[in-house]
Amino acid sequence: MLWLERKYLSMVMANLDRSKWVNENTLNHRCPYCGDSQKNLYKSRGYHFVKEQSFIYKCHNCGKTTSSVNFIKENFPTVHREYLKEYLAEQGHKPKRKMPSSDKFKFTPRTDILNKNETKKGEKTMLEAIAFPVVEKHEARQYLLDRKVPEFAMKDLWFVPQAQTLNLLSNKYKDRVLGKDPRIVLPFYSENGELIGVSGRAINNSPLRYLTLRFRDDMPLIFNLNKVDRTKTIYVTEGPIDSLFLPNSIAVAGSDFKKIPEDIKDNAILVFDNEPRNKEIIKKIEEVIDLGYRVCIWNDKRITECKDINDMIMSGLSESEVVEIINRNIVQGLSAKLQLVEYKKI
120, 128 contact by CB (below 8 A): no
pLDDT for residue 119: 36
Q: Mean pLDDT of all residues in the chain?
A: 87
Question: What is the arithmetic mean of pLDDT over 88-101?
Answer: 58
Question: What is the arithmetic mean of pLDDT over 193-198?
Answer: 91
- Whether the pLDDT of residue 123 is over 60: the answer is no
What does the H/E/C string look like for the chain?
Answer: CHHHHHHHHHHHHHHCCCCEEEECCEEEECCCCCCCCCCCCCCCCEEEEECCCCEEEEECCCCCEEEHHHHHHHHCHHHHHHHHHHHHHHCCCCCCCCCCCCCCCCCCCCHHHHCCCCCCCCHHHHHHHHCEEHHHCHHHHHHHHHCCCCHHHHCCCEEECCHHHHHHHCHHHCCCCCCCCCEEEEEEECCCCCEEEEEEEECCCCCCCEEEEECCCCCCCCECCCCCCCCCCEEEECCHHHHCCCCCEEECCCCCHHHCCHHHHHHEEEECCCCCCCHHHHHHHHHHHHCCCEEECCCCHHHCCCCCHHHHHHCCCCHHHHHHHHHHCEECHHHHHHHHHHHCCC
Distance from C-alpha of 3 to C-alpha of 11, rounded to nearest angstrom:
12
Distance from C-alpha of 214 to C-alpha of 17, rounded to nearest angstrom:
8
Question: What is the arithmetic mean of pLDDT over 30-40?
Answer: 87
- Under the banding of pLDDT at 50, 70 and 90, the label for residue 93 is low
- CATH 3.90.980.10 holds for 122-214: yes
Lowest average pLDDT, out of 101-110, 123-132, 150-159, 299-308, goes to 101-110
Break the chain into its structural domains and give their ranges. 2-90, 122-214, 234-343
CATH code given to domain 234-343:
3.40.1360
pLDDT for residue 120: 44
Question: What is the arithmetic mean of pLDDT over 228-235?
Answer: 96
- Whether the pLDDT of residue 141 is over 60: the answer is yes
pLDDT for residue 220: 87
Distance from C-alpha of 18 to C-alpha of 110, rounded to nearest angstrom:
28
- Whether the pLDDT of residue 59 is over 90: the answer is yes
Model's pTM, two decimal places? 0.72
Please give the residue that has the higher pLDDT: either 76 or 103: 76
**Rg of the Cα atoms in the chain:** 21
For residue 15, which of 238, 199, 250, 184 has the smallest C-alpha distance? 199
Question: What is the arithmetic mean of pLDDT over 168-188?
Answer: 88
Look up the CATH architecture of domain 2-90.
Alpha-Beta Complex (3.90)
Question: What is the arithmetic mean of pLDDT over 165-175?
Answer: 86
289, 314 contact by CB (below 8 A): no
Question: What is the arithmetic mean of pLDDT over 242-254?
Answer: 93
Q: Express as a percent the part of the chain with pLDDT over 90.
A: 58
166, 182 contact by CB (below 8 A): no
Task: For residue range 273-318, list pLDDT tens digits in order.
Answer: 999 998 889 999 999 999 999 999 999 999 999 999 999 999 999 9
Q: Which residues, at least 6 apart from 263, have a Cβ–Cβ distance to it below 8 Å?
A: 230
Distance from C-alpha of 217 to C-alpha of 221, rounded to nearest angstrom:
9
- Whether the pLDDT of residue 12 is over 60: the answer is yes
pLDDT for residue 161: 93
Please give the residue that has the higher pLDDT: either 245 or 41: 245
Most confident by average pLDDT, 73-82, 107-116, 196-205, 319-328: 319-328
pLDDT for residue 208: 84
pLDDT for residue 174: 80
- Under the banding of pLDDT at 50, 70 and 90, the label for residue 125 is low
Question: What is the arithmetic mean of pLDDT over 106-122?
Answer: 46
